[in-house]
Every structure is written in C-alpha cells, then in structure tokens.
Structure 1
C-alpha cells in the first residue's frame, strides 16, 4: 500500500529545476553566536560577483541550499543565500529562538561581504521563521524574548540582529505550531496507546460524516466545533507533559546545587544526577487529521483531496512518517505547540512593516487561502504589500500532471523578480 505522496518533502523538489549557467556557489561555514556551526551555500552570478542585494532562504529543518526560486534571481543578477539551520533534516529538538541566532549569523555574513539590502524568502515553514526573526531583530534588545517556552534563556537581548529589507511569503503557513493545532488527531485517548480512539472526535469515522477517500466530505458545524476544541485540548495536554519533563530535570538540578547535597547517600546523589541529566523524547502519534483534507468547503481552493504528505490521510495518520512525530519537550513547546510557540504569524506579523508579498499556491494541500495566506496578509502591517493567488500552483510550485516543464514556477518567478527589481534595482 503506497501512502506517501510523491510530492511530499523528501528533498527532490527543493533544488534548481532549470540549468543555470555562469553562476558560482560557495560553501559558507560560519559560527552562530552560541558557537553552533552552520553551513549554507552562497550563490552569485558571474556577471555580478559582488552584488549589493541578496535573497536569503531558510527553513527550520529543510535544506534550502539550492532553492528552486534561486535560478531566476541569479539570472537577474541578485545573490542568493541558501541558509541551512542547525536542525537541517531533523527538527526533533528544534527551538525557534535558537534559529533566530542562526539567521543572525547569516545576515551578518552577508553584510560583511558587501550586501546592502537583504530580502527574506519565507517558503513554507520559512515564512513564520523569518517573521519571528524580523520581529526580534526590530525589537529593542530589552524587549526581545528572554526565555524559550521551555524556560531556557535565549540571550537575544545581547545579540546583534540585522533586520531584513523585504519579505516574501511563498506558500507559507502561519506557523508550525498552528499547523499542529489543525492536524493533530483529537480522538487519541491514550498517548501511550495510539490505536485507542474516541469515536466522538474521529473525523475518519463514517458516523461523523466521513466517506471513503477521495470522496469529499461536509462535516456538520457541531462536529467541527467540538473537534477543534478537542484538538486544542490535546495540544494543551502535550504541553503539560512537556513541562512536567522539564520541571523534573529542573527540580533535580536544584537539589544537585543545594547545600548538603554531598551529605546525601551516594545512591540518592546518583539518582538525582540521573534525573537532572535525563533528556526525554515525546512521541506524538496521529498528526494527520485536518478537517480541510476531506472537507473542501471549510476553506475552498482548487486543491485535490488529501494532505501534502498523503492522498490517504485517514491511513497515513497511523504511519511513522508525519509532522512532529518525535520531539524533545523543549522542541515541542518552541516549534510544534500552537499554544506555546512564539513563531506564529498572529504573534509576529504586526512587526512586519517592510515591503511584502504573500503568494498562495492554489492547489496547496496544507497551506490554505483563508487559514494561512490571507491571515498573513491581513496581519502584517506593511504599507507596501501584495497578495498573489496562483490557482494552478502546488506547494513546491513543481510541475503538475499535464504541465509542460516548469511553466508555473517560471511564471511566478518572472513576476516575483519584477516585484523585487522595482524595489531593489541592481
């Protein structure tokens, strides 16, 4: 049984899709302010080897070193930085406050290498990431977030954060945590036994209106309301589990650092230090339950049935592969909890006043027009902002069935390069 969609995030779509001649890509290795080693790729056109304007693309876990938007920018003479984060290909301990530190290192490197204007390309999860960065970069140091949702100091008040000069939201959702709020299965009864289900909250139960995929469903308003409340209740329970694990270690650390610890019996000392050192992981099952996957009346768009990951979300919901499957407590709270994460457009969007364009891919299976793109557009405070709806586009702007090559991507990029050139001429 094939459940994984061929278009899902497996790296094959995040690459140059057209041949690009006369460009140079150099590997950039640099240290973030906390000492973490980062590696990206800096691309320039041989016809403009010292550009004054650069586009930077980043994602919390994806490898954007060869982003498919870069060739069009390079042909136009702009530099492109594929800025990989510390959590590339594995976000189990991804803490967005640390990613702010990573972006800051790339921004500093670009400035030191002659770039005067930097455009933030926020594709998919990069949109909420860059909005979070920009909100922190523009805030006075003392007003920056001082602690992660898990209680760790961020040190952002002591760092040099260079704001970007414009931001592009390209098929960007409003935040990874808000995605989880939409996709987490509220019918899970026991986090340790993911097959136990409460049918009252099961969107895939025919008693609640579900029909065999790929037949579209129309859920009742009553079911929708209780389903969404139950989703948030499950996220809240997982938040409580995360805080309990974190507090267990904190309490042990207090005992370890207290007077008289050395007088305790050796066995107790050992147990306390084990609890302090213990790093648990949370396994979050069944995160493939978005009502939008089966009911296209909730946020209408030209999208087909199913999710970005699978055309059979009802079954993919039980697979190992999925959003936020294995997380540390700190990673869960900072990145995937829609109740705790700081990296969400509703929180950070009001800080965005720079030129901005929001691009909705009409056939996107996980980023929807009202839920994500229009909410982003209406939340950001840019006086110069545009909303583009591309009805024929998929999430990665890859060729759809019947397309001729990269026509959709090329049309979008021609328009986007013109938008950038109007504001930031070479």
Structure 2
C-alpha cells in the first residue's frame, strides 16, 4: 500500500451552526493517494456510526481513489436522528468532493445501516420525495442535492425499521420494564429453543411487527399529548433488541455465519444488556427512523429510484445481514446494470478487506 494522505474536512451544515467548542456539524476524513487528485471518489456515511476512518478508506485510496469517510451531526447521536436533516448534510460532503476535491465521479457507498441511508440520498437527489417528520419544518437544502454516479451496497441492511423489527424481542410485555416477558414468545426461555418450528417463527415475526406498531401508536399519542405544553419531544427506551431468531438458530437461512452470535457476541446476553439498536429514542426519531408505519428509512422505495450502475456486496458469514437481505436489495434496485458479489467473511470483513477493495475497484473500473 503506497502512502495515503488523510485530510480532515470540517464543513458547515445548512441547518445548524458550529458547536460552541468550535466543531463543525459535518466532519470527515478524505483519503487519497499521495500526489494525486483522484477523478473518482467514494463517500460513505452512516446514520450514527463514525465513518471518518472507514475500514475500506485506505484500501480504496491505495487503488487510486478518493474516499471521504463522512459524518453528519448525528454521529454518536442516534436518539436525535432526522432523515431530511441528515440528507442535507450528506449533500455537503458530495458537493465538497465535486467542487473542492475535483472528483468527476462520485460513488455512494452504503455500508451496513448506511445502505438504506445512501439509497435515500440518491433517491432524494433523483426524485425528491422525503418529507419532514411530524411537527418539523421542511428542509429546503434537500430540494437540490447533487446525485451520485455509482451506488455500492456493502453488507447492507434492508432498512432501519426492518432491521430493528427483525431483531426486537416480541416477548416484552411492558416497555418500561426490561425484564418483562411473555414465556410463550421468549426466544431464550425454557419453553422455546432452537431449532424453532415454523409455527413459532410465524407467531414470533407477527408479534415483532405488532410490538413496533404499538410503540408507534404510543409515540404518536405522546406527541399529541405534548402539544401546547412546554415540551416538544421526549426521550424513551426500547429494550431487548438482540433477538432475531436467526442469531440463535443457524438452520433459519443457513449461511457461513457462526451460530449463536450477534454483533455484540452472545445474543441472549446482549439482549439484556444496555447496548442495542434504537435503545434510546425521541418520539420524533422513532417516527423518522424506526417505525414500520412512518419511517422513510426503508431501503426498497428509495432503491426503486436508484438507476445508476449498482453493486451489492454480501458477506456470507454476516451475523446480522442475511442472504435474503442482499437479494432483496438487488431486486429493489431500479438500475439496469446491477451486480451481486459474495465475500466469505463477517459483517466488518475483518479477513477480506483487500479482496473486497479489489472487487469494488474492478467493478468501478468496468464502468
């Protein structure tokens, strides 16, 4: 790997000013080969994970590309996420690549949860469709976003409400009590154990969707109750979100993944821990990101507007993204030129990053 230049980029947001301590709302790190200004550059952004030092940045820079690991102001601030605000701040990064870094082609890299986020960005840039969450003003900056030229979905989830619902524990009977449980639906209880029967799986999936809908009903009601008060929103917890049956039962959608594993290790232990998907929300961030009914962070409708050449890379040993997710993304893409590639590795590609970079490099150069 040749010498890689790493340039910090801090830029204003069209929505909020700099922090009192001086930090810019939009921040990232631009990677490029020493002495070069690449004509093709990648941008990768996530809902809340810091992508400034993304694991593929140096690998792709070593192959002659620019790579902007980009963060909106919601990095590390998932409870406050608003999709339209995030899209405006991704647009800041794309414009910087075109106007300051000299990139003639921009590749949108949607990695992990960022898959649906970058699909939403391209969708909005192509055919504006994203609306503000209840009680919020429209964001003018998303009416004229610069579109990407290529789209890559890497180990990507099918959407925020979908992945949370697939992972949430439907045996929770009281949202204020993390220990409440309906034994008939407890995936880790004495009454149920892998391999899970088809009837149990069907009841379980239906109960997961029902839990998501109950929280949405409650959030809408709480927002209405706050109308006219001193408060505009409130925080709440969503407990036990490491309970996808596939995590404990490898016979459901068999793959190269390790059995009884999730991104936090043992799923039963993680399910009762404090680190979980969507574990802290505001009423509006739930409606904006996690609700099956109201969220615009579902990938499929946005992928239907993605017509640029598209690559889907699926890690076959992924503990939380499954073959059905990758094929759903591929099927939803409107691009005439779309390709699915498989890499035998886990979610973060710990053993195959150079291979993945070679694969993406070859695909980009072919277009």
Which TM bucket (shorter chain)?
Answer: over 0.9
**Contact 2:315–2:349 (Cα < 8 Å) also in 1:** yes
Question: Larger Rg: 1 or 2?
Answer: 1
User: For residue 128 of structure 1, what is the aligned residue in structure 2?
Assistant: 116
User: For residue 43 of structure 2, what is the aligned residue in structure 1?
Assistant: 56
Instruction: State the alpha-carbon separation in 1 of the partners of residues 46 and 63 from structure 2.
Output: 24
Indicate whether 1:96 and 2:83 are aligned: yes
TM-score by length of 2: 0.93
Indicate whether 1:83 and 2:51 are aligned: no
Q: Identify the structure with bigger relative contact order (alpha carbons < 8 Å, sequence gap 6+).
A: 1
Q: Post-superposition, which runs of at least 4 consecutive aligned residues in structure 1 deviate over 6 A?
A: none
Q: Structure 1 residue 176: deviation in Å?
A: 1.8
1:379 maps to which of 328, 332, 335: 332
User: For residue 354 of structure 2, what is the aligned residue in structure 1?
Assistant: 410
| 1:88-108 deviation digits (Å, cap 9, x = unpaired) | 123111122211111111111
2:93 maps to which of 92, 106, 109: 106
TM-score by length of 1: 0.81
User: For residue 189 of structure 1, what is the aligned residue in structure 2?
Assistant: 173
Across the two proteins, how many residue pairs are aligned to each other? 359
**Contact 1:307–1:313 (Cα < 8 Å) also in 2:** yes
Q: Structure 1 residue 157: deviation in Å?
A: 7.2
Instruction: State the alpha-carbon separation in 1 of the partners of residues 265 and 335 from structure 2.
Output: 37
Indicate whether 1:31 and 2:16 are aligned: no
RMSD: 1.7
User: For residue 244 of structure 1, what is the aligned residue in structure 2?
Assistant: 221
User: For residue 288 of structure 2, what is the aligned residue in structure 1?
Assistant: 334
User: For residue 173 of structure 1, what is the aligned residue in structure 2?
Assistant: 157
| 1:263-287 deviation digits (Å, cap 9, x = unpaired) | xxxxxxxxxxxx3335311111111
Change (3 A) 1:195 1:330: same
**Contact 1:53–1:115 (Cα < 8 Å) also in 2:** yes
Range that drifts further, 168-177 or 309-318: 309-318
Q: Structure 1 residue 151: deviation in Å?
A: 4.0
| 1:116-168 deviation digits (Å, cap 9, x = unpaired) | 210011110111100011111101xxx522322x3423325763201101111
Any idea what SS the aligned residue of 1:98 has? helix
